[in-house]
C-alpha cells in the first residue's frame, strides 16, 4: 500500500511531502496499490508509558478481560504501544498485576501492543501521595522490586521513586540491575536530593510539576534537577487540567522537544460518562474533563483524556505539531528502548501509524500495516 498526498512526519525535518509505503506490516521504499490521504498528516503510532485505564477498566484490577478492553480502546485512538501503570497497592496485588500483563503479552492478544509495565507505586512519599492509597506506601525495597520484575517476566520498564526516602540511592542501583528506569515523583525532594538521585542513575520525572515541590527561583526542586541532568526526560500531562498552557509551552522551551514525554495518566473513566468510579481502593468523581478524589475535590486523580487527545491539546496550546509528535511517539519509544522498531516512520520499522485529518481529528489507524480503525 502506498499512501499519497499527505504530510508525513520525520523526526529531523518535521513534516515532509512524500509517500508512505507499507508492505507485509513494515514500512518500505516501494509498494503496490495507492490510496490517497490528500491534506492529511501521517504520524507514527503513539506510545503511552503512563496511563492507568480507560473504558471502565483499570490495569490495577489485574483482569485479562479488562486489559484487553484497554488495549483495544487505546489502539482505536492511534496509541499503538502501551505501558500501563499500576498504583500503590499491596505486594500480592502488584504481583497479580505483573502476572496478568505478562500473560497478556504471552498470548499475543490483540489491541495495542503491551511493551512494558510502569510501577507508579508504592515507593512514594506520604506527603505527596496525591490520589495514591497511603495504606500501601512502602519504603524503597530492591528485593520487592526484583520479585515484581520476576512476576512480570521482565516487563517492568519504569518505577516511580521518592528519592528522599531511606534507601533510595541503593534502590536506584538495584533498579538499573533489573533494566528498570527510575522516575522521580510523588516526592518532597529538594534540588540537592533529586540531583543526587539523577547522578545515581534516575532518568525520568513522573508527571512534571504534579505531586512534587514547585519550581521556584531559590528552590528549583525536582524540576530544576531534571533539567540539569541532560539524560533525564520529563513526563507532562497536557490534558488542559493538570498543567497551565503557559507552563506546557515553557517546559518545551526549557527541556527541548527531545526530552519531553507526553503522557495521559488516564483513568478508567476515560471514554466514559461523568460519575463516580473506583480507583486504587478509593473513589474518584468525574465531571467533564476533570477527575478528583470523591472525598477531596481539590485533589486531582489523573486524567480522563487519552494520549492522542493530550497531544492535540498541546498543539492547541501553541506547541508545533512536529514537537508534540516527538513527545508522544518518538521520546516515549526511546525511553522504553523500543525505538529501533517503532516510534517513527523510517523504512524498516513496523508500520504502526495514525492518519489525521487537517483539523487533527483521527481518520485512520494502521497497525502492522493494516487499517484497523477508520478508513483510507
- 180-200 pLDDT tens trace: 999 999 999 999 999 999 999
- 202-232 pLDDT tens trace: 999 999 999 999 999 999 999 999 999 999 9
Q: What is the pLDDT averaged over residues 14-18? A: 96
Of 104 and 131, the one with more pLDDT: 104
Q: For 1-44+343-376, which CATH superfamily applies? A: Urease, subunit C, domain 1 (2.30.40.10)
Q: What is the pLDDT averaged over residues 277-305? A: 86
Residue 298 pLDDT: 84
Cα(311)–Cα(305) distance, integer angstroms: 10
Q: Using CB atoms within 10 A of its CB, is residue 16 exposed (0-12), middle (13-18) or buried (19+)?
A: exposed
C-alpha cell at 29: 521504499
The verdict on whether residue 302 carries a ligand-binding annotation is yes
Q: Do 46-341 and 1-44+343-376 have the same topology in CATH?
A: no
Cα(181)–Cα(6) distance, integer angstroms: 36
Residue 24 pLDDT: 95
The verdict on whether residue 104 carries a ligand-binding annotation is no
Residue 123 — very low, low, confident or very high, per pLDDT cuts 50/70/90?
Answer: very high
Cα(236)–Cα(205) distance, integer angstroms: 9
Which residue in this structure is represented by grid cell 496511563? 51
Q: What is the pLDDT averaged over residues 71-75? A: 98
SS (H, E, C) the chain: CEEECCEEEECCCEEEECCEEEECCEEECCCCCEEECCCCEEEECEEECCCCEECCEEHHHCCHHHHHHHHHHHHHCCEEEECCEECCCCHHHHHHHHHHHHHHHHHCCCCCEECCEEECCCCCCCCCCCCCCHHHCCCCCHHHHHHHHHHCCCCEEEEEECCCCCCHHHHHHHHHHCCCEEEECCCCCCHHHHHHHHHHCCCEECCCCCCCCCCCCCCCHHHHHHHHCCCCEEEEECCCCCCCHHHHHHHHHHHCCCCEEEECCECCCCCCCCEEEEECCEEEEEECCEEEECCEEEEECCECCCHHHHHHHHHHCCCCHHHHHHHHHHHHHHHCCCCCCCCCCCCCCECCEEEECCCCCEEEEEECCEEEEECC
Residue 129 pLDDT: 94
The verdict on whether residue 139 carries a ligand-binding annotation is no
Residue 297 — very low, low, confident or very high, per pLDDT cuts 50/70/90?
Answer: confident
Residue 362 pLDDT: 98
Cα(28)–Cα(220) distance, integer angstroms: 46
Taking alpha carbons only, the member of 113, 81, 98 closest to residue 263 is: 81
Q: What is the pLDDT averaged over residues 153-173? A: 98
Q: What is the pLDDT averaged over residues 108-130? A: 95
Residue 296 has pLDDT above 90, yes or no: no
- Spell out the domain ranges in the chain: 1-44+343-376, 46-341
Residue 281 — very low, low, confident or very high, per pLDDT cuts 50/70/90?
Answer: confident
- 326-346 pLDDT tens trace: 999 999 999 999 999 999 999
Catalytic, out of 58, 265, 306, 323: 265
Backbone CA torsion sign across 250, 80, 291, 298: negative
Residue 300 pLDDT: 83
Residue 92 has pLDDT above 80, yes or no: yes
Instruction: Based on the residue annotation, tell me whether 265 is a catalytic residue of this protein.
Output: yes
The verdict on whether residue 147 carries a ligand-binding annotation is no
The verdict on whether residue 301 carries a ligand-binding annotation is yes
Residue 295 pLDDT: 86
Q: What is the pLDDT averaged over residues 284-307? A: 89
Residue 284 has pLDDT above 90, yes or no: no
User: Which one of 3.30.300.30, 3.20.20.140, 3.30.1390.10, 3.40.50.300 gives the CATH number of domain 46-341?
Assistant: 3.20.20.140
Q: Per DSSP, what are the bridge partners of residue 374?
A: 364
Taking alpha carbons only, the member of 99, 95, 94, 49 closest to residue 74 is: 49
C-beta of residue 151 within 8 angstroms of C-beta of residue 86: no
- 242-275 pLDDT tens trace: 999 999 999 999 999 999 999 999 999 999 999 9
**What are the φ/ψ torsions at residue 220 (nearest 5 degrees)?**
-75, -15
Alpha carbon dihedral 169, 172, 174, 180, in 10-degree steps, equals 180
Amino acid at each position: 500500500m502506498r499512501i499519497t498526498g499527505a504530510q508525513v512526519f520525520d523526526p529531523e525535518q518535521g513534516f515532509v511531502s512524500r509517500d508512505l509505503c507499507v508492505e507485509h506490516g513494515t514500512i518500505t521504499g516501494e509498494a503496490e496499490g495507492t490510496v490517497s490521504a490528500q491534506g492529511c498528516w501521517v504520524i507514527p503510532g503513539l506510545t503511552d508509558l503512563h496511563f492507568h485505564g480507560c473504558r471502565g477498566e483499570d490495569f490495577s484490577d489485574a483482569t485479562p478481560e479488562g486489559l484487553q478492553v484497554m488495549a483495544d480502546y487505546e489502539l482505536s485512538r492511534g496509541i499503538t504501544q502501551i505501558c500501563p501503570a499500576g498504583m500503590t497497592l499491596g505486594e500480592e496485588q502488584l504481583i497479580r498485576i505483573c502476572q496478568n500483563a505478562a500473560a497478556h503479552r504471552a498470548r499475543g492478544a490483540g489491541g495495542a501492543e503491551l511493551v512494558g509495565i510502569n510501577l507508579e507505586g508504592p515507593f512514594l512519599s506520604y506527603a505527596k501521595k496525591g490520589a495514591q492509597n497511603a495504606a500501601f506506601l512502602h519504603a524503597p525495597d530492591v528485593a520487592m522490586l526484583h520479585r515484581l520484575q520476576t512476576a512480570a517476566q521482565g516487563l517492568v520498564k519504569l518505577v516511580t521513586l521518592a528519592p528522599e526516602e531511606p534507601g533510595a540511592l541503593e534502590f536506584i542501583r538495584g533498579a538499573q540491575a533489573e533494566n528498570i528506569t527510575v522516575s522521580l515523583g510523588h516526592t518532597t525532594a529538594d534540588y540537592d536530593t533529586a540531583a543526587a538521585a539523577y547522578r545515581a542513575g534516575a532518568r525520568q520525572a513522573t508527571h512534571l510539576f504534579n505531586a512534587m515541590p514547585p519550581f521556584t527561583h531559590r528552590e528549583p526542586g525536582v524540576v530544576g534537577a531534571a533539567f540539569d541532568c541532560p539524560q533525564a526526560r520529563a513526563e507532562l500531562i497536557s490534558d488542559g487540567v493538570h498543567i497551565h498552557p503557559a507552563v506546557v509551552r515553557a517546559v518545551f522551551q526549557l527541556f527541548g522537544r527531545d526530552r519531553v514525554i507526553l503522557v495521559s495518566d488516564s483513568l478508567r473513566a476515560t471514554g466514559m460518562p461523568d460519575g463516580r468510579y473506583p480507583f486504587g481502593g478509593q473513589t474518584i468523581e468525574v465531571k467533564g474533563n476533570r477527575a478528583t478524589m470523591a472525598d477531596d475535590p481539590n485533589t486531582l486523580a489523573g486524567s480522563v483524556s487519552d494520549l492522542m487527545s493530550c497531544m492535540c491539546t498541546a498543539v492547541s496550546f501553541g506547541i508545533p505539531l512536529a514537537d508534540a509528535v516527538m513527545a508522544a511517539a518518538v521520546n516515549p519509544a526511546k525511553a522504553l528502548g523500543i525505538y529501533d522498531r517503532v516510534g517513527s516512520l523510517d523504512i524498516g520499522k513496523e508500520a504502526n501509524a495514525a492518519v489525521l485529518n487537517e483539523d487533527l481529528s483521527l481518520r485512520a489507524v494502521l497497525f502492522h500495516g493494516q487499517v484497523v480503525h477508520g478508513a483510507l
